[in-house]
Structure 1
Amino acid sequence: MNLDRHTQLDARLRDATRADSRITHALAYGSFTQGTADEFSDLEYWLYLEPDAEFDVHKWLEKLTPVLHGVVNEFGAFNAILSGLLRVELHAVPNTSLGELESWGNEHLFPERMLVKDADGRLAAALEKLTAKPPPQPEAQATLDRLLNWLTFGLNVLARGERIRAHGLLWWIQGGLLTLAAVKSGHAEYLQSPARLAERRLDAETLSRYTGVTGGVDDLEQVYANAMAWTLELAESLGLTVNAELAGDLQERARVGGSP
């Protein structure tokens, strides 16, 4: 595994950040700061600016490396694609947003690797406070409750004949199932991103069950039947609560080839 390119670009980005007076605070995050990066990983940063600063994040990055494609994603962050499909994610926000760090999760947090620039010590203090928070706990019942909602939604639109829509809703169902399966296995290290490193964390049986809740648009009756069955099995094995009438309705609707 060769991370020389990531390491060199990270160093240039950190140097440029420290040299730019418009940026008062900056931190890196993601797999590169967690020690789990590989050659396919992104580089990710938050840049906190003087409130009235004019800052074009695209032009700023292009001074450091050629950008093949740049776009503001659905969550307001600038994403750049460099040669070789290396992605860089940059959030550029006023430093009045530093207080929002309090709401971050603290999974795999390494302040000494994350801290890039701190003009007044506020960022270091915020990261220290964040690391002192109790680690996130699996909220299995809440996860199941959301999963039951998405499963019902998907089964209803499938029964209506909206197969493409039902296929898209599987993303939410799969995420809920992966989270509960990880909790059951004791490998719930990535509660905020349950698919991350799933192949390394989860056992062969769980991965096989997951395969059964994937498939194409033509496979949805079987996929949803598998998802429903796995949901109820996980709920029982984890001692979670499912309304009995709801469970019966789901089983009825999810019968392969069934109709509402």
Structure 2
Amino acid sequence: MLKQKQIIEAVQEACKQGEQVTSCMMYGSFTKGEGDQYSDVEFYIFIEASSFETFSSKQRVAKVAPYDLMFFNKYGTEVVIFSNLIRGEFHFLPASKLEIIKSFKPTGVFPDPDAMFIYDNTGMLRECLDYLGGIGPERMTDDNVTFAFHNFVNAWLLGINVLRRGELARSLEVLTYVQKYILQLLRINEQNVERWLNSSKNLEKDLSPEAYEDYALMTARLRKDELEQAYTHALMLTDRLRKQLEPFYVFDVDVKMIGKLRDYLNQIE
């Protein structure tokens, strides 16, 4: 049995034995049939309101499995590094916040509500999980194409400017945003948008070999020549995607804008 599944079972058992816990759901790879030995485990655990202020998340997690590190990340999620080096994410909320689950619907696809169910003594968790079932939000829209193009232009120009200034490290950081928005356009073009919000996940399997090669040409090490090549290819690819998407979508970036960016790039060289 995978170590992750052992932890999942331990979480379920700890919820059953914990009088303060009212409900628990899981999200992430294991709810989509994609979990493997490298996957995280991720949970929302709801606590009785009367006990929430005195509830100790560290004590609760310690009953699941030994851990070496537990801390809040920048999103307010409690991240746990278990002693077997499995990574976990835990959200502990008062039971009154259970309906927050329904707010997850716009974030993606939840194909199997039953796989998300861990524990419930309120009778209300199933309804919330069933609400998440079915197809996810429509991603292949004019607005999303426009959003990706606009944010690409913004990131690309920033990356080129800091590269021109000699800030290679910053340009390399900005390149990740350039890649993100082009990946969204590539996914729309290939009609593979399930991982819209995490566009690089499973990329090796999701994209066609040709699109994956285009992505590879947008990567670089911390070297000026490689960064210039990556930004150059990113602009060329965006112009190609503009032409391919234009018959199907109405968006706000045209050939004149791409040409202006190309001229600006040539001035740098």
Partner of 2:206: 201
Partner of 1:178: 183
Tell me, yes or no, if the aligned pair for 1:25 and 1:119 is still in contact at 8 Å. yes
Partner of 1:226: 233
SS in 2 for 1:90: strand
- Specify every segment of 5 or more residues in structure 1 that has no aligned partner in the other structure, as ranges: none
Partner of 1:90: 90
Tell me how many residue pairs correspond in the alignment. 256
TM-score, length-normalised on structure 2?
A: 0.87
Partner of 1:214: 219
Q: CA RMSD in A?
A: 2.1
- Correspondence 1:41-190 to 2 at 5 A: 41-52=39-50, 53=52, 54-104=54-104, 105-131=107-133, 135-138=137-140, 139-190=144-195
Deviation at 1:183, TM superposition (A): 1.5
The farther-off stretch of 119-128 and 22-31 is 119-128
Residues of 2 paired with 1:246 and 1:29: CA distance? 41
Partner of 1:259: 268
Deviation at 1:242, TM superposition (A): 1.2
- Percent of residue pairs bearing the same amino acid type: 26
SS in 2 for 1:116: strand
The farther-off stretch of 15-24 and 194-203 is 15-24
Tell me, yes or no, if the aligned pair for 1:221 and 1:254 is still in contact at 8 Å. no
SS in 2 for 1:6: helix
TM-score, length-normalised on structure 1?
A: 0.89
Partner of 1:37: 35
* Closer/same/farther in 2, CA of residues 25 and 5 from structure 1, 3 Å limit: same
Residues of 2 paired with 1:48 and 1:27: CA distance? 9
SS in 1 for 2:268: coil
Residues of 2 paired with 1:61 and 1:198: CA distance? 33
Deviation at 1:123, TM superposition (A): 2.3
**Amino acid in structure 2 at the alignment position of 1:199:** E
Residues of 2 paired with 1:4 and 1:71: CA distance? 24
SS in 1 for 2:133: helix
Deviation at 1:47, TM superposition (A): 0.9
